[in-house]
């Protein structure tokens, strides 16, 4: 099983465990969150969902994502200029890199984030509760497209 399949199943389990109904629309939303690596916004999730469920409403997406957020099964990344993005693949805080041209957001895997947090705690004597790291730049696709 790959990471996407694992997260798809984990999110379903979390919903069932907390007695939330797993409707076909909800399943489709979970799938989008588990398989999409570019941190979609609510309206982007809705646009994908609408292809399979034309009668669905953005409220369905909002509600499902809110439930997943409450269960810590999705990470919300708030941007003042880009709107809120969602990561269902890695629901714990981790570094993100954002393209200033196309606004796509990706994960950075190369950094050992736990190690970095440990070092920051050691240096400052803080007990760190929340950490967020954003890096900005221009993605490869946009760099290749003058």
Kindly list the residues in this chain that would bind Zn ion in the complex (CB under 5 A).
87, 99, 101-102, 107, 139, 142
Q: Would you say 33 or 99 has its CB closer to Zn ion? A: 99
Residues paired with 75 in a beta bridge:
87
Do the bridges between strand 96-99 and strand 134-137 make them parallel or antiparallel, or are there none, so unpaired? parallel
Q: Would you say 57 or 141 has its CB closer to Zn ion? A: 141
**Structure-block tokens of residue 50:** 């609408």
Residue 79: name the closest of 136, 138, 22 by CA: 136
Measured CA to CA, the distance from residue 33 to residue 116 in angstroms comes to 27
Q: Would you say 25 or 90 has its CB closer to Zn ion? A: 90
Residues paired with 85 in a beta bridge:
77
| Shortest distance in whole angstroms from residue 57 CB to Zn ion | 26
| Shortest distance in whole angstroms from residue 74 CB to Zn ion | 10
| Shortest distance in whole angstroms from residue 101 CB to Zn ion | 4
């Amino acid at each position: 099983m790959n990471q996407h399949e694992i997260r798809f199943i984990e999110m379903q389990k979390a919903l069932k465990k907390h007695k939330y109904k797993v409707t076909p629309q909800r399943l489709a939303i979970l799938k989008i969150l588990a398989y999409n690596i570019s941190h979609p916004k609510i309206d982007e999730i809705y646009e994908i969902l609408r292809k399979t469920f034309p009668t669905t409403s953005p409220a369905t997406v909002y509600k499902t994502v809110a439930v997943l957020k409450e269960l810590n099964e999705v990470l919300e990344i708030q941007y003042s200029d880009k709107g809120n993005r969602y990561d269902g693949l890695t629901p714990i805080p981790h570094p993100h890199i954002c393209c200033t041209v196309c606004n796509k957001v990706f994960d950075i895997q190369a950094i050992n984030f736990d190690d970095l947090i440990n070092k920051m705690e050691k240096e400052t004597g803080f007990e760190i509760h929340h950490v967020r790291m954003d890096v900005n730049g221009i993605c490869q696709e946009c760099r290749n497209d003058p």
